């Protein structure tokens, strides 16, 4: 069955929309029982949605948008005016937002609008809208109107609409059917008695093994199972509202966009409340721009997003323009619903041409509507991403001009998408199987429609268990086994969305502003019509940009400032102090903060692996320089304060940081080949060097410039250092990462230092001499400081690593993670550090972390030993038999390669104590750290021997850590003793009992009262045992102690 060609659309009222402009001829016999759902025309010219024999039908897409498109976007009253200002305006505008946020909402839920003056407002921070009913409005969306100019290195959106993620799940309900069809709003429950009209529910369908196999998404051929879909990677969910209950039949406020078939996993319904979700939010009539380095055409050290929307329902972005953003204009995330973005224009993006850039108008939300939006030179200009994103999600009259990649669905299994009256000029509109691309994105779209749309290529494939449809499409290449109708024909009605909306509401609540075709499509016009069309051909066709301007003019936004409160009259909260007045210092050989020894566990950042799937995100640990565009939180782009809070919550006192093994996740396959394209996969482990914008590196992004630095990377580390310093936390800065230059060849293939990946003539051989076409041995060349080019680059990098933290006291600088390098490079590194110290008169905690032979050689070098502030025992240890596991440095083997060749033996309490005490006694003025892979198990032996930052449990007794800072080793105590002691004679004592025994303490020369505490070595739980008096030797019987640790302190 095909729709006939649409004819004679010449409208005297350009903006008038008619659903019944022509009667269509239907060929063939159409019944209500088809093999697949379909759309047909009745004899009356109306649309009819036919179901298949299981009751599945194409969804009603008209529920997308603000208030489910049942109400027009209101023109909310202005409440406060923000005059133009020259200085940074972040705090002033935020104060105005906060002012309106505290006003009482009206009966529609609106508090009012903030009206911004014409002119440029510099925004160095982020503007947050966190309360319901707030509108941020400008006085024009062009260069002569209101410009919000994002400045600085902040990659966050300029504006974040951000509710609170505090969803509370309540009662769970079971389906009474094993099959619920596509497109239905009526569901059957076993017992609906606890539900009521207006309840909000979540319908959840799990990802199951048999469904994954049915879709053939478990792997994509060869060794791709690692990116295949896995059970519980994510859930597919619909947020719905109960609008009617009839017995156990529950009617929803919007249709389901997928069948729920128990064969592929049992769905469930859960009632919920969401007190922190915000509603009735708008951004209007503004030009958002990102400042960037104009000398770098691919600069990424600037703003990535204009607006992001999270934990929000019923919001809009209207008549907003965007320029120069790296990541995109509007990003609607999974926690947002019923959002409209309309009459928006995005141009002149500035970034690398690569994946997760230029996602101009992007959604992972539910019921989102993008209409009359235009974008130039994007990557995925109009896109539905995420995992299991459920619709309806709709794009109407959207145009992508000369993009670098497709629009359409780009994530995994988005359902209920509609693209209509849209144009992708120069690339594809795709519903397809991306297979392993996008880190195993696989099937991108299901139960989705393309309607009256053109693209250079259109892909419409139907996945197993679902369908996709294309009606009235025009494309240079059209591919796929979906359902195609009226290819290369126009169809009526032009808008399926507005036809469905009018059918649902009987009358449209808004003028849809569907741009007419405006001309005679016939191949055989009359002479009169041909003459008229010839006359009209003298002028170019009206562009979408011009049409957006017309529509905007027809829908003016209130910019009247009369009688408004002036934001200059608001009190601005002073910025919080981010510089600590307390410092980390070395005291009596201990690393201390606020006169307390720093003790606790450490967190090492991840440096490879990861994905954006829910299953991986739930297992993520914090990082500082991991980056996921447009997403904030653990596993994404971490909130710096949350990283510090995580350390505090988990009794961690230090973050050990090194740059990532490689930038992007495609490299996790360990392949050495040049990548096929630049469709890189996040999370991105940012590298310390800046991209040059020139040529192409192995990952198809531009090459690095090793003389320039990634400002975002270094700024993030500095921000963490400042936040951590306030809490007495330490950043262990591993300047290099040796993993890149040894072992698997893939470690080197995308390294910034590799000659093929930078513009600096590093002189490493190309092609790389992979041993056996697999392994790399580049350490000797990398550590060769006699090479003038590389030496200069090393000098610059070492200096940057120091300079970045010049005002911080809480940074321990180490040479490199996994450093088993040669003595000469350690000498070079320390010499460069000392030069910096001498030139700047700045201090830093310089750690010596190397193999034992290199460590001892440096400590026997009187000159260089003075540069060392901390000795880090990390790459060697004493074994249970007393011999040393001590690989030699400079042998071009990684730590784990050494471990495979040598007898590693076993670390024990005694031998840990021995190693630490040897160095503590020999170098009493230096901090000792014990950091072997097994070190977390040996916190107490390390502490008792004098090590700082030992992994002991949190002791909820503040005087414990203060007392430690004054304690010293007890002379004659050895690693083999059954009792280890630390003491500050006459003031405090710490005992560690390796077996049950009584404790004798000589207080004969000390007066006063002492408190005795037993400490559980595993939990840190303290129990006060007694008060004892000085002036005598006191014996505490073992029966009174009952723990391994005893702490005695003078009152």
Reported in sequence order, the residue ranges of 611-666 that DSSP labels E, i.e. its strands, are 626-627, 652-657
Q: By three-state DSSP, how is residue 414 classified? A: strand
- How many angstroms separate the CA atoms of 713 and 703, rounded? 17
Tell me: pLDDT of 520 over 80: no
Tell me the pLDDT band of 291, cut-offs 50, 70 and 90.
very high
Residue 7 has pLDDT above 80, yes or no: no
Which pair of structure tokens corresponds to residue 646? Answer: 């995580």
Confidence band, pLDDT 50/70/90 cuts, at residue 24: very low
Quick one: pLDDT band at residue 202, thresholds 50, 70, 90?
Answer: very high
Mean pLDDT, the chain, whole residue set: 94
**Residues 610-661: tens digit of each pLDDT:** 999 999 999 999 999 999 999 999 999 999 999 999 999 999 999 999 999 9
Predicted local confidence at residue 348, as pLDDT: 98
Q: What is the rounded average pLDDT of the residues 479-508?
A: 95
Is residue 391 within 8 A of residue 65, CB to CB? The reply is no
Percent of the chain with pLDDT over 70: 96
With beta carbons less than 8 A apart as the criterion, state whether 1028 and 1004 touch: no
CA distance 166 to 311: 9
What is the band of 14 on the pLDDT scale with cuts at 50, 70, 90? Answer: very low
Q: Indicate whether 1013 pLDDT > 70.
A: yes
Q: What is the pLDDT of residue 402?
A: 98
Q: Give pLDDT tens digits for 954-988.
A: 999 989 999 999 999 999 999 999 999 999 999 99
User: Tell me, what's the pLDDT at 10?
Assistant: 30
- Tell me how many degrees the CA angle 513-514-517 measures, rounded to the nearest 5: 135
Structure token pair of residue 24: 């269509």
pLDDT at 837 over 50: yes
pLDDT of residue 28: 32
Q: What is the mean pLDDT of residues 518-527?
A: 74
Query: In the prediction, which pLDDT does 41 show?
Result: 83
Cα(498)–Cα(492) distance, rounded to whole angstroms?
12
pLDDT value of residue 540: 87
Average pLDDT of span 116-137: 98
| Distance between CA atoms of residues 262 and 283, nearest Å | 42
The predicted model gives 420-435 an average pLDDT of: 98
Can you tell me whether residue 382 is helix, strand or coil?
A: strand
Write down all domains in the chain, each with its CATH number in brackets.
62-165+277-505 (2.160.20), 168-273 (2.40.30), 599-944 (3.20.20), 964-1050 (2.60.120)
Give the C-alpha separation, 745 to 770, whole Å. 6
pLDDT at 282: 98
Instruction: Name the strand (E) or helix (H) holding 212.
Output: helix 209-215
- The pLDDT, as a whole number, for residue 533 is 83
Q: What is the pLDDT of residues 798-827, one digit of tens each?
A: 999 999 999 999 999 999 999 999 999 999
In whole angstroms, give the CA distance from residue 110 to residue 270. 29
Interatomic CA distance for residues 254 and 100, integer angstroms: 32
DSSP 725-737: HHTT-EEEEEEEE
CB 339 within 8 A of CB 66: yes
Check whether 411 has a pLDDT greater than 80. yes
> Residue 771: is its pLDDT beyond 80?
yes
pLDDT at 207 over 90: yes
The helix (run of H) or strand (run of E) holding residue 366 is: strand 366-376
C-alpha to C-alpha distance for 169 and 202, rounded to whole angstroms:
9
Q: Do residues 227 and 220 touch, judged by C-beta distance below 8 A?
A: yes
pLDDT at 90 > cutoff 50: yes
Kindly state the average pLDDT of the residues 14-34: 37
What is the rounded average pLDDT of the residues 918-943?
98
Is the per-residue pLDDT at 11 higher than 50?
no
Report DSSP state, residue 342: E
Higher pLDDT, 6 or 68: 68
pLDDT tens by residue, 544-603: 999 999 999 999 999 999 999 999 999 998 766 667 789 999 999 999 999 999 999 999
Q: How far is CA 672 from the centre of its chain?
A: 27
Alpha carbon distances (Å) from 1001 to 553, 987, 1005, 1029, 1043: 88, 12, 11, 11, 17
Asked if residue 3 has pLDDT above 80, the reply is: no
pTM: 0.95
The DSSP output letter for 812 is: E
Tokens of 378: 């994007």
pLDDT, one tens digit per residue, over 97-109 is 999 999 999 999 9
CB-CB contact of 88 with 53 (8 Å): no
Can you read off the two tokens belonging to residue 26?
Answer: 């239907």
Question: How does pLDDT run across 716-741, given as a tens digit for each residue?
Answer: 999 999 999 999 999 999 999 999 99
């Amino acid at each position: 069955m095909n729709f006939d060609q649409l004819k004679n659309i010449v409208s005297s009222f350009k903006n008038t929309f008619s659903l019944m402009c022509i009667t269509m001829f239907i060929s063939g016999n159409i019944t209500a029982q088809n093999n697949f759902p379909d759309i047909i025309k009745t004899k009356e010219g109306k649309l009819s949605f036919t179901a298949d024999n299981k009751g599945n039908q194409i969804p009603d897409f008209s529920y997308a948008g603000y208030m489910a498109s049942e109400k027009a976007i209101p023109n909310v009253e202005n409440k406060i005016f923000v005059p133009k200002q020259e200085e940074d305006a972040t705090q002033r505008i935020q104060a105005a937002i906060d002012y309106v946020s505290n006003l009482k909402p009206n009966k529609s839920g609106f508090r009012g609008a903030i009206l911004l003056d014409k002119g440029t407002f510099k925004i160095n921070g982020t503007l947050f809208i966190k309360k319901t009913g707030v509108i941020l409005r400008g006085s024009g969306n062009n260069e002569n109107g209101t410009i919000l100019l994002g400045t600085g290195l902040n990659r966050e959106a300029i504006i974040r609409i951000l509710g609170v993620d505090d969803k509370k799940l309540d009662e769970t309900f079971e389906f009474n059917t094993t099959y619920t069809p596509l497109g239905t709003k009526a569901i059957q429950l076993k017992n609906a008695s606890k539900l009521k009209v207006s309840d909000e529910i979540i319908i959840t369908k799990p990802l199951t093994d048999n469904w994954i196999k049915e879709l053939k998404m478990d792997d994509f051929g060869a060794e791709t199972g690692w990116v295949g879909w896995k059970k519980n990677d994510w859930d597919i969910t619909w947020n719905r509202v109960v609008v009617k209950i009839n017995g156990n039949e529950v009617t929803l406020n919007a249709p389901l966009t997928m069948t729920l078939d128990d064969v592929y996993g049992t769905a469930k319904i859960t009632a919920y409340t969401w007190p922190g979700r915000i509603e009735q939010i708008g951004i209007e009539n503004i030009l958002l721009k990102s400042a960037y380095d104009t000398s770098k055409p691919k600069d990424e050290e600037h703003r990535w997003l204009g607006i992001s929307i999270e934990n929000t329902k019923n919001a809009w972005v209207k008549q907003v323009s965007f320029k120069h953003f790296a990541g995109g204009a509007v990003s609607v995330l999974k926690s947002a619903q019923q959002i409209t973005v309309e009459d928006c224009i995005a141009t002149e993006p500035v970034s690398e041409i690569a994946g997760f850039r230029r996602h101009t108008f992007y959604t992972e939300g539910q019921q989102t509507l993008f209409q009359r939006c235009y974008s130039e030179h994007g990557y995925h200009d109009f896109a539905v991403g995420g995992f299991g994103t459920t619709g309806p999600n709709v794009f109407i009259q959207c145009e992508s001009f000369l993009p670098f990649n497709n629009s359409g669905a780009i994530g995994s299994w988005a359902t209920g998408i509609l693209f209509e009256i849209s144009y992708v000029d120069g690339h594809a509109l795709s519903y397809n199987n991306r297979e392993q691309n996008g880190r195993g994105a696989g099937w991108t779209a299901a139960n989705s429609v393309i309607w009256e749309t053109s693209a250079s290529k259109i892909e419409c494939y139907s996945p197993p268990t679902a369908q996709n449809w294309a009606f009235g499409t025009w494309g240079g290449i059209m591919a796929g086994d979906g359902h195609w109708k009226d290819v290369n024909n126009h169809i009526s009605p032009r808008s399926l969305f507005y036809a469905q909306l009018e059918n649902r509401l009987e009358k449209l609540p808004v003028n849809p502003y569907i741009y007419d075709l405006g001309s005679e499509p016939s191949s055989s016009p009359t002479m009169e019509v041909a003459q008229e069309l010839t006359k009209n051909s003298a002028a170019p066709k009206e562009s979408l940009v011009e049409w957006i301007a017309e529509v905007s003019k027809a829908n003016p936004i209130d910019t009247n400032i009369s009688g408004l409160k002036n934001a200059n009259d608001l009190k601005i909260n002073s910025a919080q102090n981010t510089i600590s007045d307390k410092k980390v210092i070395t005291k009596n050989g201990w690393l201390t903060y606020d006169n307390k020894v720093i003790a606790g566990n450490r967190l090492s950042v991840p440096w490879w692996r990861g994905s954006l799937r829910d299953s991986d995100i739930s297992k993520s640990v914090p990082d500082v320089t991991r980056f996921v565009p447009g997403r904030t939180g653990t596993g994404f782009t971490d909130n710096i304060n949350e990283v510090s809070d995580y350390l505090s919550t988990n009794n961690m006192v230090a973050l050990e940081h090194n740059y990532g093994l490689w930038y992007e996740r495609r490299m996790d396959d360990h392949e050495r080949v040049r990548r096929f394209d630049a469709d890189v996969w996040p999370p991105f482990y940012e590298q310390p060097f800046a991209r040059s914008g020139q040529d192409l590196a192995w990952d198809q992004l531009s090459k690095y410039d090793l003389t320039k630095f990634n400002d975002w990377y270094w700024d993030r580390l500095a921000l963490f250092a400042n936040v951590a310093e306030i809490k007495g936390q330490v950043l262990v800065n591993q300047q290099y990462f040796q993993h890149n230059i040894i072992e698997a060849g893939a470690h080197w293939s995308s390294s910034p230092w590799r000659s093929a990946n930078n513009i600096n003539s590093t002189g490493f051989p190309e092609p790389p001499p992979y041993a056996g076409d697999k392994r790399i041995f580049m350490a000797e060349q990398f550590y060769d400081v006699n090479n003038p080019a590389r030496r200069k680059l090393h000098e610059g990098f070492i200096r940057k690593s120091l300079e970045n933290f010049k005002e911080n006291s809480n940074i321990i600088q180490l040479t490199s993670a996994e450093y088993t390098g040669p003595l000469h490079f350690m000498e070079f590194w320390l010499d460069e550090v000392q030069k910096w110290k001498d030139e700047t008169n700045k201090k830093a905690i310089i750690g010596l972390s190397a193999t034992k032979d290199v460590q001892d050689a440096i400590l026997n070098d009187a000159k260089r030993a003075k540069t060392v502030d901390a000795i880090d025992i990390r790459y060697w240890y004493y074994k249970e038999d007393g011999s040393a596991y001590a690989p030699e440095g400079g042998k071009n083997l990684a730590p784990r390669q050494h471990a495979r060749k040598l007898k590693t033996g076993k670390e024990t309490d005694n031998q840990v104590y021995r190693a630490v005490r040897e160095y503590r006694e020999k170098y009493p003025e230096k901090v000792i750290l014990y950091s072997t892979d097994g070190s977390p198990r040996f916190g107490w032996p390390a502490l008792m021997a004098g090590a700082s930052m030992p992994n002991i449990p949190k002791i909820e007794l503040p005087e414990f850590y203060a007392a430690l800072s004054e304690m010293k080793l007890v002379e004659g105590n050895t690693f083999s003793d059954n009792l280890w002691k630390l003491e500050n004679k006459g003031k405090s004592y710490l005992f560690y009992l390796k077996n049950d025994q009584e404790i004798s303490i000589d207080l004969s020369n000390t007066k006063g009262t002492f408190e005795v505490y037993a400490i559980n070595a595993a939990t840190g739980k303290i129990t006060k045992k007694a008060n004892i008096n000085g002036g005598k030797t006191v014996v505490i019987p073992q029966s009174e102690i009952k723990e391994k640790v005893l702490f005695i302190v003078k009152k």
